[in-house]
Structure formats: C-alpha cells, structure tokens
Amino acid sequence: MQLTLIAGCLASISFLFHYSQKNLNMLGNNKNVITAAPALKPESTHSPYTVIGGGVCIEGHLVSSGHVEIYGEVKGNIQVDNGLVRVMSSGKVNGNITFNKLYVDGEVTGECNEK
C-alpha cells in the first residue's frame, strides 16, 4: 500500500516537472505566442500566392496557379491548378473547390474535387 502511494506521488511530481519545463521551453520570455497553423511560405518568388484575410469576403470565382490560404470567406468556386488550398479554422467557402492538394480546418459548403 505504501509503495503504491509513493510510486503515485513520484509519478505526479515527474509529470508536473515535465509539464512546467515544457511550458518554459515553449514560451521562454515571449508572451505573444501564436498557436495557429503557420502560414505557407512561397516556394519561389515566381509562384503565385494568395491569402484571403480574416474579415474579408470575396464574391466570385477564384482561379489560381499557386497556393491559396483562406482565413476569411469566399462565396464562389475556387480552382487551383498547381498548389495547395488551405481553408483555415476561421475560413468559410460557399462553393466548389478544385485542387491538387487540400487542407480544410474551416467550413466548406460545396464539392471538393481533386484534379
């Protein structure tokens, strides 16, 4: 009984120590840590790269040959010929998406078709 109690206490202390060290290493002295998915970096300066920012609503069709990130809203079809479409957690798409690669963390109302 006593051995089980001691083992439980040691496990709890170990967990708390590990958790506190992990938070210190992650945060350091920086209090402004952003935990959202990082933005994509363009593969080259010639590659088209489109970002629809939060609070922005686009009405119409969006056609691109490069990467597209959506934090805002698109009311219309999206066609990306060569690149990645990312609908972020705050992003909304009301239309069809034609893509090579697709990442959806937000809301899509429509069909998603791989090229």
Q: What is the DSSP code string of 28-57?
A: TT------SPPPP--SSTTS-EEEE-TT-E
Three-state secondary-structure class, residue 81:
coil
- Order of strands, sheet of 49-52, starting from the edge strand that comes earlier in the sequence: 49-52, 67-70, 84-87, 101-104
For residue 15, what pLDDT band results from cuts at 50, 70 and 90?
low
CB–CB of 60/78 below 8 Å?
A: no
Q: What mean pLDDT is predicted for residues 22-38?
A: 43
Q: What is the pTM of this model?
A: 0.61
For residue 49, what pLDDT is reported?
A: 87
For residue 38, what pLDDT is reported?
A: 54
